[in-house]
Amino acid sequence: MSSQPKLIQLKGNFTTRIYFENDDFLLADKPAGIPVHETKDPNRLDFTRLLANHLQLPELRTINRLDLGTSGLVLLGKNKTKNLELDHLLKEAEKTYVFICEGVPNWKEHRMECFIKDGNKQVNIVRSGGKKAITEFTILVSEQKNNLSFGTAKILTGRRHQIRVMLSALGFPIVGDQVYGKKENRESRMYLHAFRFSFTDFNGQNHMVKTEIPGDWLKRLPSITNSKFFVNEKMI
């Protein structure tokens, strides 16, 4: 198992770090702006294939999927005989994201439960006919001057676009979200990041793996660095 994050330079000027690795799977940091797995265009670069080629692991498989604009921890299987076990590990893991959203909520904590139905390019919150989705939101920093907030989202279900559509429905879309947010935004990225992944491995050992807050976020919302969350997480 790896102890320190291993920095890797991938083709296409993408950088990643491997935060955890054993014989069966690894956890790596996907950059924003690249698909996590193969698309319909075989010539388009994707994170899983780039990492598989670099590590010479042709059977590397994406276990959890992040949107194109979302960065952060991705679980990737190395051993195809462990696919069912890895799917179970993902289901039981605790997954926490960080985000920057438009606006300043009048709450610090909010648990949202709804039903989400898949569409073509986006999902919709519906009264019936969808799948149950649950997210626990916590607002950690708010800047009234810039009308922005920074927070965490703990997902208790793994639905497509779950965090994005929920925050939009609450009136606080993620900054840079071209689907559920302000279409006129000219942000360089979408500010959603898979930050922490806590899980139990095949030997019954508990692990908590986390990344750093992306550097460009600290420029976008400087007050993050003054928060107790940032100081405490950086010290761990």
CATH assignment of the domain containing 39: 3.30.2350.10
- Do 173 and 67 share a domain, yes or no? no
pTM: 0.93
Domain boundary among 92, 124, 139: 92
Number of domains present in the structure of the chain: 2
Mean pLDDT throughout 50-62? 94
- Do 111 and 186 share a domain, yes or no? yes
Mean pLDDT throughout 45-61? 94
Q: Would residue 31 count as lying in a domain?
A: yes
- The whole domain housing 87 covers 1-92
How would you classify the pairing of strands 71-77 and 192-200? parallel
- Do 177 and 114 share a domain, yes or no? yes
With cut-offs at 50, 70 and 90, classify the pLDDT of residue 73.
very high
Q: pLDDT tens across 20-50, in order?
A: 999 999 999 999 999 999 877 777 889 999 9
Q: pLDDT tens across 145-154, in order?
A: 999 999 999 9
Domain boundary among 60, 92, 124: 92
Q: What share of the chain is helix, strand, coil (3-state, %, to 5)?
A: 20, 35, 40
Asked whether the beta carbons of 31 and 71 are under 8 A apart, the reply is yes
How would you classify the pairing of strands 192-200 and 6-10? unpaired
- Do 81 and 143 share a domain, yes or no? no
